[in-house]
Amino acid sequence: MKNLIDQYLQSLGINEPQISLEWLQSLLAAHLARYPFSSTNVILKHDLSLEPDALFHRLVVQRRGGYCFEHNKVLFLVLKQLGFDVRPLIGRVMLNGNPDNGRSHRLTLLTLRDKQYLIDAGFGIMNPRQIISLDTNLPQPDVRYQYSVESDNRGGMLVMATNSDEVVTLYRFDFAEYLESDCTISHFYSHQAPDAVFVNHLVVSRILENRRYLIRNLTYFEYEDKTGQERTVDISDGTMLYQLLTTQFNLQLTEQDAATLYSHQMAKIRQKQ
């Protein structure tokens, strides 16, 4: 495990771990910028083992991207090995407005100097760039959104993203005990069930300091968060998809991978017609 974590930290340019919130913040920002959120492996039907060796190899060495059960397990393993007080949580995604969706989002609860924080590197394009404090009622600013946590009046908490144009509830969670076996069950559904989002939709995102990139199905988006500018481009073929995935998202995929992903999404479009 130490060798895996050393390789991970070196890949981010972070070589001197510190038990501090500032160090954790730099770690999260570097992770979001280097390792994209991606459903490509799901659609390509790759083996998505969560065993540490396989997980680190896929995400860090092969740089094939991943989603919450991969990104946030890597962060959890790293922080636990470094001596941080962390445990996994599994939340209910609420982007469609339904508070009773199944538990399909892994995140990490950190306790540091008697205060609690959420660390999340696996929520796609709306992922907060910063660690979220659970000990303040004040909105916590990001470049585009302000993030806040409030009671759901059901014994749990809601994570909210707000700006001048919208208020979005990302997910809700509680503080029940969750084990790796619980994460494995939710992970299995998320990448194997016929109706699961990532089985059917191509979703790839990458978050830099002031800019975000997104592919949703066969549309590419760029967001300049400081200026509010947005750019949208339709993806016309597998070659264009390959260029975007390997340049804007730094994924190590082949041209055949991109062709398969493009064909998969075109088939989904035809099914709806």
| Residue 243 belongs to domain with CATH number | 3.30.2140.20
pLDDT at 138: 79
Whether the pLDDT of residue 137 is over 80: the answer is no
Please name the residue that has the structure tokens 């979220």: 132
Whether the pLDDT of residue 1 is over 90: the answer is no
Residue 60: band (very low, low, confident or very high) from pLDDT cuts 50, 70, 90:
very high
Which structural domain, as residue segments, surrounds residue 21? 2-272
Number of CB atoms found within 10 A of residue 272's CB:
5
Please name the residue that has the structure tokens 């062709």: 259
> Which tens digit of pLDDT belongs to each residue from 72-84?
999 999 999 999 9
pLDDT at 202: 98
Q: Tell me the C-alpha distance between 104 and 100, whole Å.
A: 11
pLDDT at 140: 86
User: How many separate domains does the chain show?
Assistant: 1
In single-letter form, the type of residue at position 106 comes to: R
Say if residues 261 and 46 touch (Cβ distance below 8 Å).
no
Say if residues 143 and 120 touch (Cβ distance below 8 Å).
no
Q: Tell me the C-alpha distance between 80 and 130, whole Å.
A: 19
pLDDT at 144: 85
DSSP 3-state of 138: coil
Residue 2: band (very low, low, confident or very high) from pLDDT cuts 50, 70, 90:
confident
pTM for this predicted structure: 0.95
> Which tens digit of pLDDT belongs to each residue from 103-117?
999 999 999 999 999
pLDDT at 236: 97
Provide, rounded to the nearest whole percent, the portion of the chain with pLDDT above 90. Answer: 89
Considering only residues 141 and 187, tell me which one the structure prediction assigns the higher pLDDT.
187
> Which tens digit of pLDDT belongs to each residue from 166-205?
999 999 999 999 999 999 999 999 999 999 999 999 999 9
Residue 209 DSSP code: S
Complete edge-to-edge strand list for the sheet that includes strand 157-162: 132-133, 115-119, 103-112, 85-93, 167-173, 157-162, 146-151, 140-141
pLDDT at 37: 98
> Which tens digit of pLDDT belongs to each residue from 215-240?
999 999 999 998 989 999 999 999 99
> Which tens digit of pLDDT belongs to each residue from 9-50?
999 998 788 899 999 999 999 999 999 999 999 999 999 999
pLDDT at 252: 97
Supply the mean pLDDT for the chain.
95
Task: For residue 19, give Cα distances in angstroms to 14, 140, 160, 167.
Answer: 13, 21, 27, 33
